[in-house]
Amino acid sequence: MTIDSADGTIVVIAEEGDGPTILIVHGGMSDESPWGAVAAELARDFHVVRIRRRLYRLELPSDPATDFAREVEDLAAVTTSFRTPCVIVGHSSGAVVALESLLAHPEAYVGAVLYEPPIVLDGPLGNATTLPRARAALAKGKVGTALRIFMSEAVQMSPVLAFVIGVATRFNADLKRFAPRQIDDMDAIDRLGRRIEAYAAIETPTLFLSGAKSPAHLDERTRAVASAMPHATITTMPGQGHGAHTADPALVARLIGEQAHHVGLGAPSA
């Protein structure tokens, strides 16, 4: 299936399974691939579509000033191809894109599952110097340094682990190629600014997922937006962090499936 976005760009998706549709919007530092195991679990009962976010399509130019708006257009093009409204799943920055889509096109979604969206609360992700210093490192070709700055200050990972991940860019091709787009992703979120008051208008029943081992600020941001939305609930996953979709895909798939059934999408297995 070929789907054209509003600007004529072909949208890249992976799809599997039959039945009512669940649309997955991946997070940062990757494409749709890390959600493959969750999709395989869900595909037993659902038609699962994973979109490749425009910001992480390395064959396309990136523009943090417009990328989120273009990604919302991409999602609109995909959902228009569905016969009925779907459940949207968003992870991390992909959950921010999902929030923007729920606001712009509520008719396309019957429910949502959002996993730790790093929304802006009272200032930029990290601090006022995080983005410019990461940009400066990239300009010097120091991809590992840029990623270390992001991980330690924006993600608020331990300095030691952030250093290890930065060094890993020398050996991990995916880390190295996606790191610059992760900095663009952070930039795009900062440019959106505080949107929590706007998200309060979202009426779509939404399940927020939080990892018990995730950085505390992600739980704070998740709870802030959930408390602002009229039909939101939160599930905290014991023993999980920000990557439960790869650490325990069966758990994440079960929670998504339960939310889908809760909003009337498909029927629970006997």
Q: What pLDDT shows up at residue 268?
A: 67
The whole-number pLDDT of residue 270 equals 46
Q: ∠144-149-152 over CA atoms, to 5°?
A: 115
Token output for 39: 């999709």
Q: DSSP per residue over 131-200, as a string?
A: HHHHHHHHHTT-HHHHHHHIIIIIS---HHHHHHHHHHTTT-HHHHHHHHHHHHHHHHHHHH-B-HHHHT
pLDDT computed for residue 98 by the predictor:
98
For position 269, what pLDDT does the model report? 53
Tokens (6 digits) for 10: 């072909």
Q: How far apart are CA 109 and CA 22, in angstroms?
A: 10
Q: Write out the chain's pLDDT in tens, 270 residues.
A: 689 999 999 999 999 999 999 999 999 999 999 999 999 999 999 999 999 999 999 999 999 999 999 999 999 999 999 999 999 999 999 999 999 999 999 999 999 999 999 999 999 999 999 999 999 999 999 999 999 999 999 999 999 999 999 999 999 999 999 999 999 999 999 999 999 999 999 999 999 999 999 999 999 999 999 999 999 999 999 999 999 999 999 999 999 999 999 999 876 654
Phi (first) and psi of residue 227, to 5 degrees: -70, -20
pTM of the model: 0.96
**Quick one: DSSP state of residue 50?**
E
Residue 5 C-alpha from the chain's centroid:
19
The domain spans of the chain are 3-122+194-262, 130-190
Q: Within 10 A of 12 (CB to CB), how many other CB atoms are there?
A: 18
CATH number of 3-122+194-262: 3.40.50.1820
